[in-house]
Amino acid sequence: MASIRSSLKTMHVRALALIALTLCLLLTACTSGGEGSRAALYGSLGELVGDSTTVILASAGEAESKQVGEVRVVAWAINVRKQLFPPGLGASPKEAPSRDFRDSTGRDVGSSVIVWQVSGSPAPSLAPGKLYILFLRPTEVPGAGSNEFYIVGGVAGIYEDSGDGTQYRRVSTDGDLTPELLTEASLR
C-alpha cells in the first residue's frame, strides 16, 4: 500500500513538473538544471576500476528516455569496440565477432550494451558517434535488463576521445583524483 502511495506521489510530482515546464515554455523563456550528491569521489584509477564490473572502449549511438521502476533515465545504445576490463576478456569484436563478452559478475556485455544516465543528472550527456572509455556497473534497479548498466560515479567513469583516438580525457570536474588522460594501455 505504501509503495502504491509512493508511486502515486511520484507520478503526481512528474505530472506537475511536466505542466510547469509546458506553461513555462509557453509563457516565458525558462531554464532547467540539475545537481546531485556524488555517492563517492574516486581517489585513483584503481578505485574507479574497483567499483566497475566492466570497462569498455565504445561509441555512443541513439538515446531514448524511459521509465524503469521508480527512475526515469536516458538509455544510450552503446557499441562495444573493445572490452578493457576485466583482464583477459579484452578483444576486438572484429578479431572475435562471436565472443561472449561478460563482466566480472558474469553478466553478458555483448557487442552492444545499454548505458543509463539519470534524467536531469548533472553528468554531461554522451554524444552520438563519439568514442569513449566507459567504466560501467549493473544498474541494480529491479526490472532493468541484464545488458543495462550505469556509468560508475555518474560522470567519473566517462573518458572521451581527445581527438586522436588514442588518448581519452576525463570528463569529470567533480574533484575525482583519477588520471586526466587514459590510454588503452592504462587499463592493462
C-alpha cell, 142:
529491479
Report, in Å, the least distance between residue 23 CB and other proteins.
8
Q: In the stretch 149-168, what mask flags binding to other proteins with x, by CB under 8 A?
A: -xxxxxxxx-----------
φ, ψ of residue 86 in degrees (nearest 5): -70, 155
SS3 call for 6: helix
CB 4 to other proteins: min, Å: 12
Q: With binding defined as CB under 8 A, does residue 127 bind other proteins?
A: no
User: Can you tell me the distance from the alpha carbon of 30 to that of 23, in angstroms, rounded to the nearest whole number?
Assistant: 10
Written in H, E and C, the secondary structure of 81-141 is EEEEECCCCCCCCCCCCCCCCECCCCCECCCEEEEEEECCCCCCCCCCCCEEEEEEEECCC
Contact status: 181 vs other proteins (CB under 8 A): no
* 26 is a contact residue toward other proteins (CB under 8 A): no
**10 vs 111, which CB is nearer to other proteins?**
10
CB of 180 to other proteins, least distance (A): 17
Is 104 a binding residue for other proteins by CB under 8 A? The answer is: no
Residues 6+ apart with CB under 8 A from 186: 45, 179
DSSP, res 118: E
Q: Check residue 28 for interaction with other proteins (CB under 8 A).
A: yes
147 in contact with other proteins (CB under 8 A) = no
End-to-end, the C-alpha distance of the chain in Å comes to 50
* Binding span for other proteins by CB under 8 A among 57-65, 93-101, 133-141, 159-167: 133-141
**Does 66 interact with other proteins (rule: CB under 8 A)?**
no
Nearest of 158, 134, 117 to residue 54 by alpha carbon: 134
Q: Name the site residues for other proteins (rule: CB under 8 A).
A: 2, 6, 9-10, 13, 16-17, 20-21, 23-24, 28-41, 69-71, 116, 118-121, 123, 137-142, 144, 150-157, 174-175
